[in-house]
Each structure stands twice: as C-alpha cells, then as structure tokens.
Amino acid sequence: MRSLYVHVPFCAHKCEYCAFYSAPPSGEVVNRYVAALVREFELVAHELKPDTIFFGGGTPSLLNLRQWEIILKAMERLGLLGAKEWTVECNPATVSPDKAKLLRDYGANRISMGVQSLDERLLEKLGRIHSRDQVFKSFDILRAAGFDNINIDLMFAIPRQTMEIWRATLSEATALGSEHLSSYEVIYEEDTPLYHQLQAGEFDVDEDLACEMYDELVSFGSERGYRQYEVANFAKDDSTVAKSEPQIPSRACRHNLNYWRGGAYHGLGPTATGYVNGVRTRNWANTQLYCEQMEKGMRATESREELPPRRRAGETAAFGLRMNAGWPFAVFEEATGFDLRTEWPREMDWLVEQGWGRRTEERFQLTERGLRFADAAAERFL
C-alpha cells in the first residue's frame, strides 16, 4: 500500500462552516488518541510502504511537540518514513519554529496551510482562530524550516465577501509564492452555524457573484504561474520535479492524485476512510470509541463496503473527471480494468452534446464549462 491518510480530530475552535468531525482538545484525550494512533500504525505497518502521506483534520498542527515526537518515532520504528510527498495540514495560529523543524527533520516535506481569507472581518465571520498577520509569519517560519512545497487554502463566496476583497486576497496570497493553491466555494452544510444564519435570513447567497469569483480565481492563478489541474486545485511547474502525467503540473498534490485516479490507501484515525483491496472502510467518528477499540487491539471500523467492479469503476471515472486532464483511456483501463469507450459511450456523448465534455482519440475530459458543473457531470457515471 503506497498511500496513507491520518486524521487528527482536534480543533481549538469549530469553524462556522465546518461539518467535518472534530473535537476540542484536552491533554488527556489527545494523549490517549496519540497512543491509539500508534497502535493502529502497528496493526497496518506490514501492509504499508507509503509514497504519499497526508495528515489532515481537524488541525494536525495543534498537537504539541511531545505528541508529535511519539507519532514520528513510532513511524520511524515501523519503517513508515521516507515518503516522496508527506503533507501536514496546519493552522497559521499553531505553527512554531520548533514544530516545523521537528516535522521537517522526520521527512515531512509539504505543508497545507488553512488560510481561507486575508480579511480580518471574514476570518472572524468564518470562526477562524488565526489573524492575517499570523499567515505571513507562519509562512516565513515554514520556509525557514526548509519547506519548499507549501499549499495555501482559500475560500470564496463567503458571506459579505466582495469581489474587491476576493481580488485583494488572491493578490496577497499568490504574492507569498507558494507552490500550490487550493480554493473552495463555501458550502452551507446542515447543522453548521453558517447554515443556520443563512436559514435565518442574515445574508443571501449570490450565485452569480460566486461564479464570477471562480472565474477570477482561474484567471488570476493562471496569470501568476499556477496551472489548474483539478476543479479547486492549482499548482506550479518545477523542472526539477518529476511529473506523473504530462498534463499535470509537477507540484500537484500526489496524494490527492491517488484519490482521483482510484488508487488504494489506508486511512487511520477517527472518521478516516480507507480503500484497500477494493473494500472501502470508515472508522468511527468518535474519538473515545476509536481509542477504546484500539486499546483492545482492534481496528475501529464502523462500516465496510465492497462495490461490484463496474460500479467501482464508475466511481473512479467520476472522481477522475474533476481533473483538467480527465481520463486518458489507457490510464483508466489500467486503473479499473474497464474501457470508458465501450462501457460509458452514451454518458460521454451526452456530456459532449452539452458542451461539458471533450473526447479525443487519447482521452475524455471535461471542458472549462464542464468543470464548473463537475459534480453534475460525474453523476452520469455513478
């Protein structure tokens, strides 16, 4: 197994838009989680030789130095270091020189920093715990520690975000010179404070403005050397870094490419999903229950699903179409054992007729317009 995801379920404060599982940290709970995670590492290490590792959350950078040392030393003992790409998600408020150095010393080489906005009022609206100044300070700390592959996460269509504010954020964020940029439209998930504010009429959603902001993102990124390779992801090309495919920029996130190409991966930690030998699993979205199961020496698996081969291939097709490069027919057949041209010809024809798809002798991909409706396009294959 060449890909590993680790979920760290703690956040200092729950953001107003977030529907992901996370919990406020306390010393006892976090230490118990760290011990449980090490136990889960031990249970799967014999199946792992990771090329990509991704610590997501939650807020992985919330863990203190001692907790990180326990995790990293366990990974070293189990032979899990040395990944070509190792990403750790960070909040700008929880980056320190010592922590950055420790992660870099053990082989972490990519940071994904959750900036979301550089406007103080919007950061407060979103419930973020960091300030705009901390973004610039943390970026400098990461560079000084030796991280030469950094992603900046941004959000657009935030309530009361104007086009002027969005352009200013894009300008300042890209001026940092990060190698990667991810940007997502705000989604109003049920049972989040932002959703309830929308339902209460505290603000309206301007879909036209959201589309204009997305267009601005694509245009702005292109002008500053970022190549869009997936609906929400943009990366630079670096001649010293090998590419996985000619149409994909060299600084693209390799871990996410594995997801979109239907690759297998182990998922560890509360609520983490995994995909191993054609079986999709999900851990319990409950840190206490996760710890209890691991302390018994058992995987904390809540659900397990094995899809029929063709349905699984259809899901793979759907995920891969989110990428600008789409699906080279040969790559899809190698990944799934199915031929797009013989199994889904009507679906591809329909997308071409809508102006959403483009088919050549070599590949099928979504057009620029089709990428705006990637979810709707993907449904044709599910």
Would you state the torsion angle of the CA atoms of residues 37, 43, 49, 52, taken in this order, to the nearest 10 degrees? Answer: -30
Q: In this structure, are 52 and 199 located in the same domain?
A: yes
Q: Are residues 236 and 354 in the same domain?
A: no
What CATH code is carried by the domain that includes residue 167? 3.20.20.70
Write phi, then psi, for 90 (nearest 5 degrees).
-135, 145
d(CA 86, CA 103): 10
Instruction: Answer yes or no: is 127 within a domain.
Output: yes
At residue 129 the predicted structure's pLDDT band, cuts being 50, 70 and 90, is: confident
**126, 168, 308 from 130: Cα distances, Å:** 11, 18, 45
Residue 219's pLDDT is: 95
In this structure, the answer to whether residues 246 and 330 fall within a common structural domain is: no
Rounded CA-CA distance 61/20 in Å is: 17
| Listed residue (65, 61, 112) closest to 85, CA to CA | 112
User: What's the pLDDT tens digit per position in 33-54?
Assistant: 999 999 999 999 999 999 999 9
Residue in the block written with tokens 């020189």? 97
- Residue 123 belongs to some domain of the structure: yes
Q: Are residues 239 and 330 in the same domain?
A: no
Together in a domain, 84 and 231 = yes
Residues 231 and 335 occupy one common structural domain: no
Are 233 and 332 within one domain? no
Q: What gap in Å lies between CA 30 and CA 24, rounded to an integer?
A: 9
pLDDT single digits (tens) 339-374: 999 999 999 999 999 999 999 999 999 999 999 899
Residue from 59, 12, 48, 67 nearest 265 by CA: 48
- 227 & 319 share domain: no
Report field, pTM of the whole predicted structure over 0.75: yes
Cα–Cα distance measured from residue 142 to residue 91, given in angstroms and rounded to the nearest whole number: 12
Q: 3-class DSSP state for residue 121?
A: helix
Q: Are 80 and 113 in contact, with CB atoms under 8 Å apart?
A: no
Could you give the number of structural domains in the chain?
2
For residue 58, whether the previous peptide bond is cis, meaning omega lies within 30 degrees of 0, is yes
Q: Could you tell me the pLDDT band of residue 18, with boundaries at 50, 70 and 90?
A: low
Same domain, yes or no: 313 and 253: no
Report the alpha-carbon distance of residue 38 to residue 134 in Å, rounded: 31
Residues 247 and 316 in one domain: no
How much is the pLDDT for 348? Answer: 97
Least confident interval from 57-71, 123-137, 167-181: 123-137
Range of the domain at 370: 309-379
* CA gap 306, 62 in Å, rounded: 35
Is 222 found in the same domain as 82?
yes
Identify the domain boundary among 260, 284, 318: 260
- Looking at the domain assignment, is residue 289 inside a domain? no
Q: Please give the biggest Cα pair distance in the chain.
A: 58
Last residue within a domain, chosen from 192, 225, 260: 260
Say how far apart CA 72 and CA 56 lie, in whole Å. Answer: 15
Work out the angle at residue 335's Cα, subtended by the Cα atoms of residues 86 and 51, and round it to the nearest 5 degrees: 15
Q: Are 270 and 263 in contact (CB under 8 A)?
A: no
Asked if residues 118 and 169 have their Cβ atoms less than 8 Å apart, the reply is: yes
Q: Is 326 part of any domain?
A: yes
Radius of gyration in angstroms for the set of CA atoms belonging to the chain, rounded to a whole number: 21
Mean pLDDT, range 125-145, rounded to an integer: 91
Q: What is the arithmetic mean of pLDDT over 260-281?
A: 95
Residue 10 is predicted with a pLDDT of: 92
Of the three residues 190, 225, 260, the one that is the final residue of a domain is 260
> Does residue 301 belong to any structural domain of this protein?
no
Amino acid code (one letter) for 27: G
Helix (H, G, I), strand (E, B) or coil at 8: strand
CATH number of the domain residue 321 falls in: 1.10.10.920
What φ, ψ does residue 325 adopt, rounded to 5°?
-70, -15
Give just the sign of the alpha carbon dihedral 347, 313, 246, 3. Answer: positive
Q: Is residue 302 part of a domain?
A: no
Q: Is residue 329 part of a domain?
A: yes
Instruction: Judge if 169 and 61 occupy the same domain.
Output: yes
For residue 30, being part of any structural domain is answered with yes
Q: Which two tokens stand for residue 104?
A: 């870099």
